[in-house]
Structure 1
Amino acid sequence: MVLAVGLSALGIGCSDGGEPGSDLEATEPLGYGKEVTVPISAAVTTLVYPGEEPRAPLRPHYAVGTVQQVTLRTDHNIEQIINDQQPRDFSNPEMTIPMTAEADADGIDLVLGNVTTDDPVLAKALTDAGGSHAGFEMSELGAITALRLAPSPDTSNTARAALEQAFYQAVYRSVTFPDEPVGVGAMWTVRQEVTGGVLLDQVTTATLTERDGDRLTLQLDVSQTPKSAVWSLPNDAGTLQIEDYRMTGSGTITVDLGLPLPVAGSITVGGHQAYRDARSDSMLQQTINTQVSWGE
């Protein structure tokens, strides 16, 4: 049965919080043995309301060599049910990733500190992950255009996969600024394709609620809609019909235009997904909740 063949893929493929079958899904982590660069689909901004006067363009302006200490936290919960079976938990353990971010000529270089988790198995796997590198290539409007991953040589495959998922979550919970000048109260949308077995149209609505010099407070509202009625399972394991797909979320983040990464805030995205195997008429349902948080 397709569902049985694709079960682990269903649990892992959706584990980034609504991007089933993502670009980072593979039989082994992409960072295995070498540095890799993953292109990120273009983000298109549309200004809805310019906000109050005074208005000014929002542009990151950190200089090469700017250093920032920041902590990324990710928490993902997923419950999966096939037909009338008992629910199964495919959640990813919560992770705390302290990093040193430094602006370079290509974007932002990240050096990981001691990555921690309450899960003892993952904690053991993450023992040698400290010192790993990652990075973001950025546009002048703050959009992440590529994700670089370079785990340290002794990092286990389990740890590599967990780190890839965490950074992938962070990428698709980031914000791009509009090209036009804006003031407090401004609202704009950021539309982006999230590629994978299910191609998603993700729309993030951003509202500038406060501004104090370079420090901005942004309210973010996220929605995702499949662009196809079919999910092609990884490794040619078949297809599933998408019966239901509701993924939405919101949060508030604080960014400093003079620093590479958000300084505070969190975004939570969750919902319900249902898939049917047309050959067996079996139904798979998932309830998902993912949180991405930033702190100094």
Structure 2
Amino acid sequence: MLLLVLAVGLTAFGTGCSDGAESRSESDSTEPLGIGKGVTVPIPAAITTVVSPGAEPRSLLRPDYPAGTVQQVTLHTSHRIEQQINDQPARDFSAPDLSIPMTAHTDADGIDLTLGTVTTPDPSLAKAFTKTGGSHAGFDLSDLGAITALRLEPAPDTSNPARAALEQAFYQAVYRSIAFPDQPVGEGAVWTVRQEVSGGVTLEQITTATLTKRDGDRLTIELDVTQQPKSTVWNLPNNAGKLDIKDYVMQGTGTITVDLGLPLPVSGTITVGGHQGYHDPRSSSVLQQTIDTQVSWTE
């Protein structure tokens, strides 16, 4: 049955990530992106639209840190997936939680991230992360602070499971980031960020941002995220067939604090979740997914 074969692979679409950032279990043989080498992945453009400019005084929000700026933060990710085919028992394909300490260095080319010791409650993955010392990642940014490219450079001894987990964590972070509006705004301002999320099916993600507080360069921003597929059909890779998308709901909220003088968020949590339903047109089989993802930043 097509759905039985694809049950694990479907989690890639559920995350809203690219094919190289999909969730994996022991039965999934998909290799991570750029196996054995570093990769640079372009990120679709983010389009901002101001809904309300907010109160006076207003100013342009722009990242403003000189080359050589250093910041230490930790990225925490959680990714829960439960899947059910027809009336069979639901199965858990969740990815282990990760905490990724990193030191950000800014230069003319963007943001370079040196990863520290990654921790996870999963014993086998924790062991794999003991060989990731010296791993790097990085972001290229637009003038509005939108991430335009993701760079991943795991250490040479990084295993496939560790590399795949890092990819998924950074994709989650990329698609939970925020771009600033292209006109002056003040406290109370509201703007939307529209972005395509690449994957088996292209998603349209709309993030509504509200500037709830500004204290100098430090901004507190509330976020509301929704995703919808831009097609009703998923044409599967490698001519494996297609699935009808019968149901798709992904939405969430969060609050982040950013400092215009620093390259990464200083704190905040964004949680996005929902459910999807897929139908195999060659049978009566239906697959349901329930998904919950969370991205947090701490200094």
Q: TM-score, normalised by structure 1?
A: 0.96
SS in structure 2 opposite 1:159? helix
2:165 counterpart residue number: 162
SS in structure 2 opposite 1:235? helix
Which residue of 58, 61, 64 corresponds with 2:61? 58
Matches within 5 A, 1:200-219: 200-219=203-222
How many equivalent residue pairs? 293
Deviation at 1:15, TM superposition (A): 5.7
1:7 counterpart residue number: 7
Deviation at 1:33, TM superposition (A): 1.5
Instruction: Give distance in 2, aligned partners of 1:128 and 1:20.
Output: 25
Structure 2: runs of 5 or more not aligned? 23-28
SS in structure 1 opposite 2:102? strand
2:286 counterpart residue number: 283
Structure 1: runs of 5 or more not aligned? none
Which residue of 133, 139, 156 corresponds with 2:136? 133
Matches within 5 A, 1:137-286: 137-286=140-289
Instruction: Give distance in 1, aligned partners of 2:32 and 2:284.
Output: 33
Deviation at 1:232, TM superposition (A): 2.2
| 1:253-275, Cα deviation, whole Å (9 max, x unpaired) | 00000000000001000001000
Deviation at 1:281, TM superposition (A): 1.4
Instruction: Give distance in 2, aligned partners of 1:236 and 1:7.
Output: 16
SS in structure 2 opposite 1:285? strand
Answering whether residue 83 of structure 2 is matched by residue 107 of structure 1, we say no
Deviation at 1:198, TM superposition (A): 1.2
Instruction: Give distance in 2, aligned partners of 1:7 and 1:237.
Output: 13
RMSD between superposed Cα atoms in Å: 1.3
The answer to whether the 8 Å contact 1:193/1:199 transfers is yes
Deviation at 1:24, TM superposition (A): 3.8
AA of the residue aligned to 2:161: T
2:80 counterpart residue number: 77
2:70 counterpart residue number: 67
Shift in CA distance, 163/226, structure 1 to aligned 2, threshold 3 Å: same
Instruction: Give distance in 1, aligned partners of 2:79 and 2:164.
Output: 14
Instruction: Give distance in 1, aligned partners of 2:101 and 2:134.
Output: 11
SS in structure 2 opposite 1:123? helix
Shift in CA distance, 285/20, structure 1 to aligned 2, threshold 3 Å: farther
Deviation at 1:34, TM superposition (A): 1.3
Instruction: Give distance in 1, aligned partners of 2:21 and 2:96.
Output: 18
Answering whether residue 74 of structure 2 is matched by residue 36 of structure 1, we say no
AA of the residue aligned to 1:93: P
Deviation at 1:82, TM superposition (A): 0.2
Deviation at 1:235, TM superposition (A): 3.5
